[in-house]
Structure 1
């Protein structure tokens, strides 16, 4: 089941690039609501430090719990997601533009840290981190859109990328419903994003849509890390439970 969310996220990443970057119509719709970039905001200067702090905190939580495998997986997840996003941003081409912003680096870093944090937590605690992680990612996505640094499609691409890497590195097979949700979410985000930019020319409304889509997609791609299949009778027997009560002697 791990391949299902990986494949869905990859499809969502490619679809977002095709619809919003390669397609002239998609580019025109997004560019119509893109604000002029604000290069005076201090977020750009402090974000590398915040990203470094987030990575260190995630790894520290894993080490303190002695969750060595999960900590190693979280380290690979964060390093791979951020590195791949940087390489793709340099390698991919945006027609009729001097530079490419797909996928968004800030949202990639935030989502990778959130997914890494979920991965190092005990399994019964992981669902608790879903809501705050989705809210944080939503804020970063909306903030970068408001500053004119990124488009809605950049956010979708970042979350699809992180979702694929996280699903590939998950420490167990996800529940079927979680795998399906994680696979469908990036594709649904592309459709929702296209409806949003095609329905309005208001930058404010697109920023709100960016935050909402980011929150929903972030929660969905994190589900495969949180929802594990329920133990069956066969697995309990294999673990040594035969249904016979035992009594102290």
Structure 2
């Protein structure tokens, strides 16, 4: 009798872990979107921001010019050709989809492709629509370059791979992702194509779409561990 009673009231010591809620990912998306807006206002729409952005550019690259024969310039152009080549992007997409098929994570791979192309498209739209005021800041060009399409592509690739990886292991993408985005951002600055704010804004654009994808997945598939 005592044994039966003890068995009846015994509860398991370990409860199944609940899945993170969708609102956390939604907050991440909102935070990234707000970050894009704040960077744009601070560095594109104000004289002080334009001055600071220009001061952070490599000296020879200010105004969009750099010695084309320098080693730094050639290295930067090599990085940009690697990231911005449509053939390379197509190869990346093919590898991502195949990896998704092999890992039985097709939805995650498709979501990653959406984040990649969405990031590139959003960067192009924003760059075309945002107007950079001319405050006569010495040494800076008046054309708008916010956000960077090359950095958006690189960040989109990083977040696409992160979606393919299961949620519990995505933290391992943090350091490699930061390195990739930093290298591409530096390359755009050395080449004189973009400013630091352009790179930061592009990463946040891609981050916005990444968190949107995670939030949508958590709403639709509440009983699953993560994107399938």
- Scaled by the length of structure 1, the TM-score of the pair is 0.63
Do the aligned partners of 1:62 and 1:120 also contact (CA within 8 Å) in 2?
yes
> For structure 1, which runs of at least 5 residues remain unmatched after alignment?
174-226, 229-249
> 1:74-223 alignment to 2 at 5 Å?
74-96=112-134, 97-170=141-214, 171-172=217-218
Q: C-alpha separation between the residues in 2 aligned to 1:30 and 1:123?
A: 35
Counterpart of 2:94 in structure 1 is 56
Q: Does 1:26 align with 2:45?
A: no
Do the aligned partners of 2:181 and 2:203 also contact (CA within 8 Å) in 1?
no
Richer in helix (by share): 1
Do the aligned partners of 2:57 and 2:196 also contact (CA within 8 Å) in 1?
no
1:148 to partner: Cα distance: 1.9
Do the aligned partners of 1:104 and 1:150 also contact (CA within 8 Å) in 2?
yes
> For structure 2, which runs of at least 5 residues remain unmatched after alignment?
1-22, 69-73, 135-140, 220-224
Residues 98 and 111 of structure 1, relative CA distance in 2, 3 Å threshold: same
Do the aligned partners of 2:162 and 2:173 also contact (CA within 8 Å) in 1?
yes
Aligned length: 175
Counterpart of 1:9 in structure 2 is 32
Q: C-alpha separation between the residues in 1 aligned to 2:183 and 2:191?
A: 12
Q: C-alpha separation between the residues in 2 aligned to 1:6 and 1:18?
A: 19
1:30 to partner: Cα distance: 1.5
- Scaled by the length of structure 2, the TM-score of the pair is 0.69
Tell me, what secondary structure is at the counterpart of 2:203?
Answer: helix
1:25-70 residue CA offsets vs partner (Å, 9 max, x unmatched):
1112212343423484443444314333333322221122221221
* CA RMSD in angstroms, aligned pairs only: 2.3
Q: C-alpha separation between the residues in 1 aligned to 2:81 and 2:96?
A: 22
Q: C-alpha separation between the residues in 2 aligned to 1:92 and 1:21?
A: 9
Q: C-alpha separation between the residues in 2 aligned to 1:154 and 1:8?
A: 17
1:110 to partner: Cα distance: 0.5
Residues 66 and 39 of structure 1, relative CA distance in 2, 3 Å threshold: farther
1:98 to partner: Cα distance: 4.3
Q: C-alpha separation between the residues in 2 aligned to 1:32 and 1:134?
A: 23
Q: C-alpha separation between the residues in 1 aligned to 2:67 and 2:158?
A: 26
Residues 89 and 31 of structure 1, relative CA distance in 2, 3 Å threshold: same
